[in-house]
């Protein structure tokens, strides 16, 4: 049985995390406005609450899935790794490519390796 209400709460908390990160790291200039105080508060303090709430709901769904016998703990983590790792490595490769293409001009392979790994 799916609990759609909790899925919606998890989606809302995920969006809250994205918005909080946007306000925390984007250099928005709202000087002298009441909105600036709200955005600053939301960016600093709201993010922590959304992260905790997101992990709480995700933990509930994980525990329920394992408890109902849909999968074992090992099967769950293997399934998660199979779904997360390809995306992780794709994004990492893309970021390294962008970084190398636009921000660094390495003369030798040794210079590249020293910059990224040592």
Q: What distance in Å separates the CA atoms of residue 103 and residue 4, rounded to the nearest whole number?
A: 45
Q: What's the pTM value of the predicted model, to 2 decimals?
A: 0.55
Confidence bin at 40 (pLDDT 50/70/90): low
Alpha helix locations (H) across the chain? 4-25, 34-41, 47-67, 73-102, 109-117
Angle CA(43)–CA(44)–CA(46) in degrees, nearest 5?
Answer: 70
Q: What does the pLDDT read at residue 80?
A: 87
Closest CA to 9 of 38, 17, 44: 17
Q: What distance in Å separates the CA atoms of residue 84 and residue 10, rounded to the nearest whole number?
A: 18
Closest CA to 72 of 81, 57, 62: 62
Would the pLDDT of 25 be above 60?
A: no
Mean pLDDT of 56-60: 89
Between 87 and 26, name the one with better pLDDT.
87
């Amino acid at each position: 049985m799916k609990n759609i209400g909790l899925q919606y709460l998890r989606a809302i908390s995920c969006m809250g995390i994205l918005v909080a990160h946007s306000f925390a790291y984007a250099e928005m200039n709202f000087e002298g406005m009441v909105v600036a105080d709200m955005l600053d508060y939301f960016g600093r303090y709201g993010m922590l609450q959304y992260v905790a709430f997101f992990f709480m709901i995700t933990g509930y769904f994980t525990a329920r899935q394992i408890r109902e016998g849909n999968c074992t703990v090992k099967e769950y983590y293997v399934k998660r790794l199979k779904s997360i790792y390809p995306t992780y490595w794709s994004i990492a490769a893309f970021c390294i490519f962008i970084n190398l293409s636009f921000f660094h001009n390495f003369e030798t392979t040794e210079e590249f390796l020293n910059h990224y790994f040592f």
